[in-house]
């Protein structure tokens, strides 16, 4: 059974790498498409409105396109890593700590609105769990005290019943000796 859960956990870890890569690839593809469309529009405008030779314009536009593409894709990868992926990884680690029972995790260091909103929700769930655990501990203590009190009452009643039984036995023995 444990090996099944271990394999599931390993699959989840490898899936998260795929999701992370997929997110980076998607963002880069969006930037690539936007840059390409922008460059095609710019090239079309320049070819129709300027009187320079087409070869010179094509080379200039191609160079500008490549530089823009490299800069934009690079910025997209860096920004997505720091603004999206790293906070998600941190929140995943914190959520795992909560799942492991550590309800004292500090989650108030996220700055980005979307990530902070998600973390605030997880933090509310953590706080609710912490309160629930505290209430359960308090109820458990109250049940323990009530159980001990009940045990003491039962012990007192048993000792009274024992004394009554002994008294009745003595009384019965007294009647037996008078009869004899």
What was the pLDDT predicted at 16? 53
Domain boundaries, the chain: 2-102, 103-180
pLDDT tens by residue, 59-80? 777 787 788 888 887 888 888 7
168 HSE (CA, 13 A, CB side): 6
Other C-beta atoms lying within 10 Å of the C-beta of residue 75? 11
pLDDT tens by residue, 24-67? 777 777 888 888 888 777 777 777 777 767 677 677 777 877 88
- Contact 112/91 with Cβ under 8 angstroms? no
């Amino acid at each position: 059974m444990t090996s099944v859960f271990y394999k599931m956990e390993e699959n989840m870890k490898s899936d998260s790498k795929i999701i992370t890569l997929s997110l980076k690839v998607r963002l880069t593809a969006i930037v690539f498409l936007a840059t390409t469309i922008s460059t095609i529009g710019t090239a079309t405008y320049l070819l129709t409105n300027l009187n320079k030779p087409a070869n010179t314009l094509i080379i200039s536009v191609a160079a500008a396109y490549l530089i823009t593409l490299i800069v934009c894709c690079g910025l997209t990868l860096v920004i997505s890593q720091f603004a999206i992926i790293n906070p998600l990884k941190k929140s995943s680690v914190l959520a795992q700590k909560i799942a492991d029972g550590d309800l004292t995790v500090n989650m108030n260091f996220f700055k980005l609105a979307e990530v902070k909103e998600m973390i605030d929700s997880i933090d509310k769930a953590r706080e609710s769990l912490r309160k629930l655990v505290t209430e359960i501990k308090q109820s458990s203590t109250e049940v323990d005290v009530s159980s001990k009190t009940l045990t003491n009452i039962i012990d007192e009643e048993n000792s009274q019943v024992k004394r009554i039984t002994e008294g009745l036995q003595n009384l019965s023995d007294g009647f037996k000796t008078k009869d004899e």
